[in-house]
Amino acid sequence: MDKNVQELHQLAVKNLANSFSPYSNFPVSAVLQTKSGKVYTGVNIENASYGLSMCAERVCLFNYVNDGAINDPIETFLVTGKTNNPISPCGACRQVMVEFLDKTTNIVLTNVDEIGRAHV
Q: How far apart are CA 108 and CA 78, in angstroms?
A: 5
Residue 99 appears among annotated catalytic residues: no
**CA dihedral for 79, 118, 32, 94, sign (positive or negative):** negative
Question: Does residue 46 contact residue 21 with C-beta atoms inside 8 Å?
Answer: yes
* Active-site residue identified among 7, 46, 57, 75: 57
Nearest one of 55, 64, 67 to 99, comparing CA atoms: 64
* Residues classed as catalytic: 57
